Amino acid sequence: MATLPEGIQLSKINPKFLHSNSTSHVWAFGAFAELIDNAYDPDVGASSLIIDMQKVGTMQCLIIVDNGAGMDKEKLIKMLSFGYCDKGIYNRRESYKPVGLYGNGFKSGSMRLGKDALVFSRCEKSACIGFLSQTYLEAIGADSVIVPILEYSLPDLKRNKDRQCLNNLEAILQYSEFKSEASLKEELNSLKSSVTGTKIFIFNLNRLQSGVGELDFQSDRKDIRCPDPYMADTTNLDCRPLEDTPEYKRSLREYCSILYLRPRMKIIIRGHPVKSKYISKMLYQTEDHQYKPSWMGRNDKPIKIKIGFSCATDCNENYGLMLYHKNRLMRAFERVGYQKQANERGVGVIGVVELDFITPTHNKQDFDRNDHFNSIMSALAGKLNAYWNSKKETQNNDVGKLPDWTWAQCSNCLMWRRLPPGTDGDSLPKHWFCHMNKDAQYNRCFEDEEPDAPADTPRRRRAINKRNKDRLSEVR
């Protein structure tokens, strides 16, 4: 065991920890979320993320590609190590805060999906390759986690020729699916189109006990499905039977569509863009509430809550609280109050809440269930019950339900634009752009998003309609 010059021994991480650490993700899509977060977070700031399946040699691999800032050798080493997280400086921002917290997401996420991960990354001045592989560590009988890494200079992709560098190259070529340095450079060159970015290959994908792959690439060529989602969720006393499992637990496309409260990154799964769902803007008869627990600090902002009826066709099955932390979904359709009763009270009601000051669990699929969290959930249940009591007489009379406002996301800048009242979102083209917006103040990509406002303000609605009419008459 290695020791410091002072004679103090260094602690080591056994390769078996790569697997045991990954078991925090009971659900495969939770592991995907960790990898997506890495691209989304402001230190990388990717605007586009591609998830696909690709054959390398004879092996089926999962690939994840982003057009973010990329990594140099030092940053790549930190990503492949445990506990390093340099994202704290971004927490001082009012918005766009990082989801990453523990410096563990890539390791737990990638090793949950497969035994081996090969990372290609390109930043402004260099390109790097890193190999986190259980197969390699088992083959060489390693008693500690080691990661072969290559570094190339740009633009000519030259590397050192010393023995250490050759040892890293030989390990990657022998135990990965890439058998020549030329094929490695080809992948680095594939990132040139975005100037900087990262490409991850995950292979030796996990299989179920039956021998079938855990990820289903065959049922839907535009999606990655989970044939065995965690139906018996021991963390949720209200877990539903198999036949009532929500689609987001089976479909990666559906899960990614609700993964972020305010979607800022375009996610493309198997060549087809994910249509993001801005849940808080897809409700009708909405109400905005605020709640500030007595134990919060004087300078802390109150919790903002939006409650409304779902417009989705599956509104009688998928309803409850959507709980977010720093814009990222932690818990979906959490039933509270009336919704836990065996009747129709509370059915179809969705509440959207962002709990940035509550600590998420290690796998970022829930919150720590402490006294603070429980008190908030109790208060939210009361507000949902009160909403139902005030709206129950009218909610069944709405036919052909539309959200209070229809919003569209620009395919170019990814900004969300408010559309005129009565607009049917299903009638919009597949690719919608800011210039298609009839509101002249918000029909250019360089304009900020229109501030959200309570949906039950007819005066504001009339003012916007008048403004649009005035501008149209001026154009004519």
pLDDT of residue 33: 97
pLDDT of residue 120: 98
Q: Is residue 474 very low, low, confident or very high in pLDDT (cuts 50, 70, 90)?
A: very low
The whole model's pTM is what? 0.88
pLDDT surpassing 70 at residue 450? yes
Arithmetic mean of pLDDT, 180-195: 95
Question: Computed from CA positions of residues 234, 237, 238, 241, in that sequence, does the dihedral angle turn out positive or negative?
Answer: positive
* Digit-coded pLDDT (tens) for 117-154: 999 999 999 999 999 999 999 999 999 999 999 999 99
Q: Is residue 471 very low, low, confident or very high in pLDDT (cuts 50, 70, 90)?
A: very low
> Percent of the chain, pLDDT > 70?
88
pLDDT of residue 57: 86
pLDDT surpassing 80 at residue 394? no
pLDDT surpassing 60 at residue 445? yes
Arithmetic mean of pLDDT, 51-62: 94
pLDDT of residue 469: 47
Structural tokens at position 320: 């409850």
> Could you tell me the domains of the chain?
16-217+225-230 (3.30.565), 279-397 (3.30.230), 406-475 (3.30.40.100)
Phi-psi region of 351 (alpha: psi -120 to 50; beta: other; left: phi over 0): beta
pLDDT of residue 2: 63
Structural tokens at position 180: 């020549």
Cβ-based burial of 142 (10 A; exposed 0-12, middle 13-18, buried ≥19): middle
- Peptide linkage before 148 cis (omega within 30 of 0): no
- Other Cβ atoms less than 10 A from the Cβ of 33: the count is 26
pLDDT of residue 463: 43
pLDDT surpassing 50 at residue 173? yes
CA distance 128 to 147: 12
> Percent of the chain, pLDDT > 90?
67
pLDDT of residue 313: 78
DSSP labels, 332-373: EEE--GGGGSSSSTTTTEEEEEE-TTSPBPTTSSSB--SHHH
Average pLDDT over the chain reads 87
**Dihedral angle at the C-alpha atoms of 333, 339, 344, 347, nearest 10 degrees?**
-30
Q: Is residue 11 very low, low, confident or very high in pLDDT (cuts 50, 70, 90)?
A: confident
| Cα-to-chain-centroid distance, residue 413 | 19
pLDDT of residue 81: 93
Query: SS3 letters for 160-207?
Result: CCCHHHHHHHHHHHHHCCCCCHHHHHHHHHCCHHHCCEEEEEEEEECE
Q: Are 418 and 440 in contact (CB under 8 A)?
A: no
Per the listing, tokens 């209070």 go with 404
pLDDT of residue 475: 39
Q: Which residues of 436-473 are buried (b: 16+ CB within 10 A; e: fewer)?
A: ebebeebeeeebeebebeebeeeeebeebeeebeeeee
Q: Is residue 263 very low, low, confident or very high in pLDDT (cuts 50, 70, 90)?
A: confident
Q: Are 123 and 196 in contact (CB under 8 A)?
A: yes
pLDDT surpassing 90 at residue 377? yes
pLDDT surpassing 90 at residue 178? yes
CA distance 194 to 204: 28
CA distance 374 to 358: 11
Q: Is residue 236 very low, low, confident or very high in pLDDT (cuts 50, 70, 90)?
A: low
pLDDT of residue 243: 58
pLDDT of residue 1: 54
pLDDT of residue 232: 44
pLDDT of residue 398: 52
pLDDT surpassing 90 at residue 48? yes
pLDDT surpassing 70 at residue 229? no
pLDDT surpassing 60 at residue 233? no
Question: Computed from CA positions of residues 36, 282, 452, 429, in that sequence, does the dihedral angle turn out positive or negative?
Answer: positive
Arithmetic mean of pLDDT, 343-362: 93
Helix 181-189 to helix 163-175 angle (10° resolution) is 90
Q: Are 191 and 70 in contact (CB under 8 A)?
A: yes
Phi-psi region of 320 (alpha: psi -120 to 50; beta: other; left: phi over 0): left
Cβ-based burial of 373 (10 A; exposed 0-12, middle 13-18, buried ≥19): middle
Average the pLDDT over each of 93-107, 208-222, 448-462 and give the range with the smallest value.
448-462
Arithmetic mean of pLDDT, 391-403: 65
pLDDT surpassing 90 at residue 107? yes
Structural tokens at position 452: 């959200």
pLDDT surpassing 60 at residue 6? yes
CA distance 87 to 99: 9
CA distance 136 to 82: 18
Q: Are 56 and 203 in contact (CB under 8 A)?
A: yes
Q: Is residue 454 very low, low, confident or very high in pLDDT (cuts 50, 70, 90)?
A: very low
CA distance 455 to 383: 17
Q: Identify which of 313, 315, 309, 312 has the alpha carbon closest to the alpha carbon of residue 287.
A: 309
* Digit-coded pLDDT (tens) for 58-72: 899 999 999 999 999
